[in-house]
A and B are shown apart, each in its own frame.
Chain A
């Protein structure tokens, strides 16, 4: 019947890679993130202020940084007028609606992009070794510590890389869903030397 909507089963691009954590000697885990909303606003300006009000924290203006939110999420700098708001628990459509309602009257924008990227945690003693196998950004803790963010390439995949710790042992990787399986395979391959050691 045309008026009967059957909810689609929500699937994850890495459902077919249940052994990813094992294959990377515990370094890589899939992170469940409830909402990812991309926001646009001029800073300084009323749209940015309105977005900050909803999030509960100002938008970071320094390139290559992320800041935590009171809800336990993150605001990632993506460009001089663009951010990714990540929330661990808010329904994505609700967060999008609240951010849009605040920003749109002032010329800002908000878009739910929760399905666009998969989030991976990369941690432990081998975290930096795995990154170094295919990422040209300097991840040494002296220049890339908690609060640092980089949009770059890991292997052949575009990623957003966040540093969560000051000692180079805790990172988060955002990768486009269609590249997630490639990156999972790539990470498992990069971990071979640590697996057999």
Chain B
């Protein structure tokens, strides 16, 4: 089973985690100013990247913290994991 490295707990089995969608989706500065279409885009529209993709994951069975990961959507290989307050690391 693939090991995923929690930024706090270290490497743990994949079953301890859950996926949380695309990372770095900024909350609108003025939500009330958005049209319904713009709001729908914020809520439901996500990139569908082939290759390296920054995603949110949560360590459900461990520390229950959310963090970000850069994962290759083709190979499923994790290239980096980092805390939510850290910038996306440079990955090859």
Q: Is A35 an interface position by the 8 A CB rule? A: no
CB-CB contacts below 8 Å: B1-56 with A: 1, 8-10, 12-13, 15-16
Min Cβ gap A184→B in Å is: 19
In the complex, chain A residues whose CB is within 8 Å of the CB of B12: 136-137, 152
Q: Are B9 and A151 in contact (CB under 8 A)?
A: yes
Q: Which B residues lie within 8 Å of A64 (CB)?
A: 8-10
Q: How far is the CB of A39 from chain B (nearest CB, A)?
A: 15
User: Count of chain B residues with Cβ under 8 Å from any Cβ of A?
Assistant: 13
Within the assembled complex, what's the spacing in Å between the Cα atoms of A150 and B9?
A: 8
Task: Tell me the minimal C-beta distance from A191 to chain B in angstroms.
Answer: 23
Smallest CB–CB gap between A77 and chain B, Å? 8
Q: Mark A116-139, 1 if CB is under 8 A from B, else 0.
A: 000000000000000000001100
Which of B8, B10, B13, B61 makes the CB contact (< 8 A) with A158?
B61
Asked if A153 and B61 make an inter-chain contact with CB atoms under 8 angstroms apart, the answer reads yes
**B64 within 8 A of partner (CB):** yes
> Is B71 among interface residues, defined by CB-CB distance under 8 A?
no
Question: Could you tell me the distance between the alpha carbons of A64 and B61 in the complex, rounded to whole angstroms?
Answer: 13
A152 contacts B8, C-beta separation under 8 Å: no
Note all chain A residues with C-beta closer than 8 A to B88: none
Q: How far is the CB of A60 from chain B (nearest CB, A)?
A: 13
Measured in the bound complex, the distance between the Cα atoms of B8 and A136 in whole Å is: 17
Give A158 to B8 CA distance when docked, in angstroms: 17
Interface pair B8/A79, CB less than 8 Å apart: yes
Contact call A63/B63, Cβ cutoff below 8 A: yes
Q: Does residue A78 face the partner (Cβ distance < 8 Å to B)?
A: yes
Chain A residues near B (Cβ < 8 Å): 63-64, 78-80, 136-137, 150-153, 158
Report which B residues bind A (CB closer than 8 A): 1, 8-10, 12-13, 15-16, 61-65
Q: Can you list 15 residue pairs at the A/B interface with Cβ under 8 Å? A: A63-B8, A63-B9, A63-B10, A63-B63, A64-B10, A79-B8, A79-B63, A79-B64, A80-B8, A136-B12, A136-B13, A151-B62, A152-B16, A152-B61, A152-B62
